[in-house]
């Protein structure tokens, strides 16, 4: 449940997938993707989904070389209709991952934040501030420094 859809249940209205607006890629920025991946990058996908709980923008980057085992950055920014919904979504991800090796609460950043790493497989960061949440997952994470991922996450948090 590291990067699942925004807490939708059968009783909720079906999400609407819209023509992608470059919100996530613009917010994240190719400079951060380059810093994490460590080589020339390209954007590989972007999407915006809207439902009764809010909007979710996603963006992904990979190495321009096209190597199959190159790290990919998956970024998501969510704007929930209320802070309570954002807290519930955050807590659902926390609860599903907190007993796994490499999971930790990240204190002193935003309202709440977590880190989860199973390097060389992945690095995951989730940060919530009010009704806005960002998620970043790097997969595979071989050759990617968790310190660089944390530095990028802290820079993004100031813009939430």
Domain count, the chain: 1
pTM of the model: 0.85
Question: CATH number of the domain that 152 lies in?
Answer: 3.40.1000
- The residue segments making up the domain with residue 123 are 17-75+91-157
**Residues 79-137: tens digit of each pLDDT:** 999 999 999 999 999 999 999 999 999 999 999 999 999 989 999 999 999 999 999 99
The Cα–Cα gap between 114 and 111 comes to: 11
Please name the residue that has the structure tokens 């992945």.
Answer: 122
Q: Are 137 and 122 in contact (CB under 8 A)?
A: yes
């Amino acid at each position: 449940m590291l990067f699942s859809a925004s807490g939708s249940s059968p009783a909720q209205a079906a999400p609407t997938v819209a023509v992608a607006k470059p919100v996530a890629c613009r917010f994240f920025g190719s400079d951060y993707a380059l810093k994490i991946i460590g080589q020339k990058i390209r954007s590989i996908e972007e999407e915006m989904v809207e439902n009764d709980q809010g909007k979710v923008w996603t963006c992904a980057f990979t190495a321009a070389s096209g190597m199959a085992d190159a790290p990919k950055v998956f970024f998501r920014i969510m704007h929930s209709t209320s802070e309570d919904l954002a807290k519930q979504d955050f807590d659902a991800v926390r609860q599903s991952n907190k007993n796994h090796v490499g999971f930790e609460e990240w204190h002193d950043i935003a309202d709440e934040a977590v880190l989860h790493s199973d390097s060389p497989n992945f690095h995951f960061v989730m940060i919530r501030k009010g009704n806005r949440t960002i998620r970043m997952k790097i997969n595979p994470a071989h050759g990617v420094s968790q310190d660089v991922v944390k530095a990028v996450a802290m820079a993004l948090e100031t813009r939430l």
